[in-house]
Structure 1
Amino acid sequence: MSTNQQIILNTLLDQQKNNLGSTLKEDDYFHLFVTEQVLKNLELSYDELLEGIVDNGGDGGIDSIYTFVNSELIQRDSVLIDGKRNSIIDVYIVQSKNTSGFGETPIEKCISSANDLFDLTKSIDSLRTVYNSDLLANIDVFRKQYLHLASKFPVLRFHYYYASKGVEVHDNVKRKVDNLRNTINKHFDKAEINFEFLTASKLIDLSRREQIKTKAISLLDNPISTQDGGYIAIVPLKNYFDFISDENGDLIKYFFDSNIRDYQGSVEVNTGIKETLSTDNPAEDFWWLNNGITITASDATFASKRLLVEEPQIVNGLQTSFEIYNYFTISKADTESRNVLVRVVKTKDERSRLKVIKATNSQTNIPPASLRATDPIHRDIEDYLLAKGLYYDRRKNYHKNQLRPINKIVSIPYLAQIVMSVTQQKPDYARARPSTIIKNNSDYDGIFNTSIPIELYYKLIEIQQSIELSLKAFDSPKLNRPQIGDIKFHATMYAVGKLTRA
């Protein structure tokens, strides 16, 4: 007989699946749900979540795997991050079973695969007869990134999650976890291995954990208030670290959704920030030597040296924020007494926020690609697609967080892949580089420009989605998810060619 928690979880899954309009099978949707809850604070898009799913026979007991460096996702086509000494590499491995209990076999499979996948003496090619290509591609991402940073002694953390609809875990199952830890430590002796069983109750709790909409910053002293309701304040570094971290000490990534630049790793400016943080000179406060942080907010109020910020978005100071986060995460600097300058700007609407973003980021050299989401063409596409019932994810994960139907959300990289596949007839290039197409200026300019009729973008999306539905329904032979991923852009290019007789 099902328990109350299992009944509630099943009801929750059914409701969310229906609300999102998902066509996934129950097992597949359960895994997507679990993975989304586990990685909620890391703000992955649906495209990014799906890229990490590897369950397809030969998965070694791993249903999905993701590698992060200093909280930045590394994908198959990503440029390796040149992190600094003691950068943090997090590997998230998720296993889900749409069953009413936990078994020993899934963990035993993880132990066996860990002995292969994390043994760097075994080449990827030598493992192809045992494991599927999606798993090996994502393992290769981890291996390359780890070796790229090995000389800088990165902090390596493995996070295993085993989820089911069970309500308790038998001691015999729990004992298997030590064997998994020992196996990984045999290959990475300094690695930290965390393992968590996600019961029905825990999954419900994770799903109820909403994004933080309002958070307080404790100030050094009373702030300066501006005529438009904003504030300028001096904030102790530790208090700022607490502001950008959740209760588990993890970075709140969605506070940075509006920042137009990615964390730049060990570039000159970050090296300078890091050196300033690591050199504690009592005669020089940190905010004297740093431009500080700019935060936009829908509202902000002050009382008792605490600034309450509603819907905070850190639009300038991402590099400083990441360095402060890494500084406290790695060094555990509990005695830190220095401060950082924080500006809180109240914005009335999206257009005002974009003006602040562009203005506050103009002081440094920013690649043109960084401003792309704010280009007028994307606002035009967003408005046009909305009228057609589609949600253009110009601001990453905005519509995902609004619980829009999965099949109605169109990301900028996905649209870029479709357009490149058809108009430039490069489906192989588009498939291989989902996250980097729009980072190349020449590729970007050929995909998003006003010479392309705006209705063409919609038509191509419509054709692509129709092709993907047809491939999923194809019976002879039955195509799995990786196979569909490999051919869907080729099929769309071919279909458009036939339709236009090109």
Structure 2
Amino acid sequence: MSIYSVVSNEYNKTFDIDTVSIGNGGDTGIDGIAIIVNGQLVESIEEVDDLLDKNNSLEVSYIFIQAKSSSSFDSGSINTFIFGVLDFFSDAPSLVRNDDVIKHAEISNYIYSKAPRFKQNPALKLYYITTGKWLEDQNLMAVINNGKQSLEQTNLFETVSFISFGARELAGAYRKTKEAISTTITFMKRITIPNINGVSQAYIGLLPFNEFNKIVSDTEGNLLNVFEDNVRDFQGENNDVNGGISLTINGNDSEIFSVLNNGVTIVASSISPTGDQFTIKDYQIVNGCQTSNVLYNNRKSLNINKVHIPVKLIATSDDEIKTRITLATNNQTPIKKEQLAALTAFQRSLEQYYNSYNGEMKLYYERRAKQFNSDNSVVKSKIITVPLQIKSFASMFLNEPHFVTSFFGSIVKRLNEEKGQIFNSDHAYSPYYTSAFAYYKLETHFRRNNIDKTYKKARFHIIMLFRVLFEKENLPPFNNIAKMDKYCDTLLSILADDHKSLLAFQKCISIINDADFDISVKQDLKYVYKTRILIDYVSRHESNL
């Protein structure tokens, strides 16, 4: 709960708690580590490379968490925590590390090898949490300040923060994760749009950057994930359009931005105006993802306060109108309008397809980041995010588990430019759901300790092998809905049964053990030919499996 609450307030997208939790034994006094690069929680070196290629620079934050069930704040435990963080960044670490700490340290070391590409040194935050009450005890403050000073003297960080949470602060952080997103802005330069059926309020005008920034970032300065259909995501500044926006913002004539840019369209569930103060709740930016990200990335530009952003602000609860607004206002170069229309329709329909399942087979497709956060009936482990959908589908049905360490936006781009297609408008929905359910079922067995967690690093190879092993016929075309649904039903009948699915996954693991495939060798998980070895092994030994 502590790790979830802290990371959720620092990172505004859905994440797998297991990726930031540090296992028992060899944890170096640390319970959780989150490394956020260019607004993305990274899990691999490859993701860092992809983000660097997109943006030409790195903006990094580290979050370390230690949580104690004790009601007291103990100086010894705080010292151990700080020493563990110091050891994490040491060139010659002295503490015994488990696999989770080693993985995060490897990513961190790689990030620092790219230090010339830093916008500024990384920010470091340490959270120490107990069930007691934080009273800023003088002795404890001395320990904390001494630890901060030691971390600052490494010269590795732009800022170092130590945050102490008692029960009240932790409860507040958890409650915040359940709140619908809202913000209050001063919107002076505006006009009211006349009444429109299905739209309760609508305005158009100009927002100075300091007010616009309240819409796209939180009070801590973290970028909010308020972008509709986040599969498109930010395309980076390495393209002509976004690069041009950045040049305008940083130029001496940055005030011309408002007449050069098409602006941003924001759709909210409600708008509460009081004079020039507007409180907008449960909102999404349906057009202007690229503009918003470039503005945020340049928020420290010397000329940013000269920039005014053209804004449409609309309140509606009608999903059909919202879709029409999204399609009508999007015409940026990174994605053609006809592609956008198909993508938006496919994502919405896929969400509805997920909703057709009930009971144990019920999963929740999170088309918009954190859309289920305020619903306490939704089990977190049953939420399938867009990145997770992409990775599970590409692994299980396109036989490409070796690519899933990349940033998910890069996976989509590569697949759609080459032979493999994803989210095509004529695709059946069943393979998307089936791949997600296979991932969920495998993760369930890991959580129950039915399967050795050592194999988690090969989980996408396992779900690929599951399909290859247990298909009853050759994989039909994705646009043949009847055949594909029948094909997936065979797989789902095994996955839906706890005992059958466990035996099936164990058989997949036995193949990994017997084939020329070593999960302890990182490159075996990333090479195409190693994936082919697994598939060929099944073909050669099919009669004995």
TM-score normalised by the chain length of structure 1: 0.76
Is residue 52 from structure 1 mapped to residue 54 from structure 2 by the alignment?
Answer: no
Give the 3-state SS of the residue equivalent to 1:62 in structure 2: coil
Per-residue deviation, residues 469-501 of structure 1 (Å, max 9, x unmatched): 3444447xx834xx2522444444455555447
| 1:438–1:444 Cα contact (<8 Å) kept | no
Percentage identity across aligned positions?
A: 23
- What are the residue-to-residue correspondences of 1:372-411 with 2, within 5 Å? 374-389=343-358, 390-403=363-376, 404-411=378-385
Name 1:294's counterpart in structure 2.
265
Could you tell me how far 1:441 is from its partner in structure 2? 2.0
Unaligned runs of 5+ in 2: 473-541
Is residue 469 from structure 1 mapped to residue 469 from structure 2 by the alignment?
Answer: no
Give the 3-state SS of the residue equivalent to 1:362 in structure 2: coil
What is the distance in 2 between the residues matched to 1:460 and 1:263?
Answer: 26
Gap change, CA 1:234 and 1:450, over 3 Å in 2: closer
What is the distance in 2 between the residues matched to 1:212 and 1:161?
Answer: 24
- What are the residue-to-residue correspondences of 1:105-116 with 2, within 5 Å? 105-116=76-87
What is the distance in 1 between the residues matched to 2:384 and 2:391?
Answer: 11
| 2:446–2:456 Cα contact (<8 Å) kept | no
- What are the residue-to-residue correspondences of 1:327-476 with 2, within 5 Å? 327-329=298-300, 336=305, 338-366=307-335, 371=340, 374-389=343-358, 390-403=363-376, 404-430=378-404, 432-433=405-406, 435=408, 437-442=411-416, 445-446=420-421, 448=423, 454-474=429-449
| 2:415–2:422 Cα contact (<8 Å) kept | no
Alignment partner of 1:261 out of 233, 238, 242 = 233
RCO comparison, higher one (Cα < 8 Å, 6+): 1
Could you tell me how far 1:90 is from its partner in structure 2? 1.7
Equivalenced residues, count: 456
Name 1:13's counterpart in structure 2.
none
Could you tell me how far 1:453 is from its partner in structure 2? 5.2
Name 2:67's counterpart in structure 1.
96
Alignment partner of 1:133 out of 95, 99, 105 = 99
Per-residue deviation, residues 299-334 of structure 1 (Å, max 9, x unmatched): 44655334443432122233433444455557697x
Could you tell me how far 1:257 is from its partner in structure 2? 4.8
Could you tell me how far 1:62 is from its partner in structure 2? 2.3
Deviates more, 1:302-311 or 1:439-448: 439-448
What is the distance in 2 between the residues matched to 1:324 and 1:459?
Answer: 39
Give the 3-state SS of the residue equivalent to 1:44 in structure 2: coil
Could you tell me how far 1:458 is from its partner in structure 2? 4.2
Gap change, CA 1:500 and 1:201, over 3 Å in 2: same
Deviates more, 1:228-237 or 1:72-81: 72-81
Alignment partner of 1:64 out of 7, 25, 32 = 32
Name 1:320's counterpart in structure 2.
291
What is the distance in 2 between the residues matched to 1:464 and 1:371?
Answer: 27
Gap change, CA 1:163 and 1:83, over 3 Å in 2: farther
Deviates more, 1:388-397 or 1:197-206: 388-397
What is the distance in 2 between the residues matched to 1:498 and 1:321?
Answer: 46
Gap change, CA 1:184 and 1:331, over 3 Å in 2: farther
What is the distance in 2 between the residues matched to 1:472 and 1:52?
Answer: 15
Query: Counterpart amino acid of 1:361?
Result: N
| 1:96–1:162 Cα contact (<8 Å) kept | yes
What is the distance in 1 between the residues matched to 2:33 and 2:435?
Answer: 31
What is the distance in 2 between the residues matched to 1:153 and 1:462?
Answer: 40
What is the distance in 2 between the residues matched to 1:74 and 1:368?
Answer: 30
Gap change, CA 1:183 and 1:86, over 3 Å in 2: farther
Name 2:204's counterpart in structure 1.
232
Alignment partner of 1:201 out of 165, 168, 188 = 168
Could you tell me how far 1:103 is from its partner in structure 2? 2.7
Gap change, CA 1:462 and 1:327, over 3 Å in 2: closer
After superposition, the CA RMSD in angstroms is 3.8
Alignment partner of 2:214 out of 198, 223, 242 = 242
Could you tell me how far 1:252 is from its partner in structure 2? 5.3
Gap change, CA 1:267 and 1:138, over 3 Å in 2: farther
What is the distance in 2 between the residues matched to 1:492 and 1:285?
Answer: 52
Name 1:176's counterpart in structure 2.
143
Name 1:25's counterpart in structure 2.
none
Query: Counterpart amino acid of 1:391?
Result: Y
Deviates more, 1:322-331 or 1:129-138: 322-331
What is the distance in 2 between the residues matched to 1:70 and 1:234?
Answer: 27
Could you tell me how far 1:198 is from its partner in structure 2? 0.9
TM-score normalised by the chain length of structure 2: 0.71
Give the 3-state SS of the residue equivalent to 2:103 in structure 1: helix
What is the distance in 2 between the residues matched to 1:439 and 1:318?
Answer: 17
Deviates more, 1:324-333 or 1:49-58: 324-333
Per-residue deviation, residues 339-359 of structure 1 (Å, max 9, x unmatched): 322112344533432333333
Per-residue deviation, residues 285-311 of structure 1 (Å, max 9, x unmatched): 541333322212234465533444343
Gap change, CA 1:103 and 1:360, over 3 Å in 2: same
What is the distance in 2 between the residues matched to 1:463 and 1:189?
Answer: 41
Alignment partner of 1:277 out of 249, 264, 273 = 249
What is the distance in 2 between the residues matched to 1:153 and 1:465?
Answer: 38
Is residue 215 from structure 1 mapped to residue 177 from structure 2 by the alignment?
Answer: no
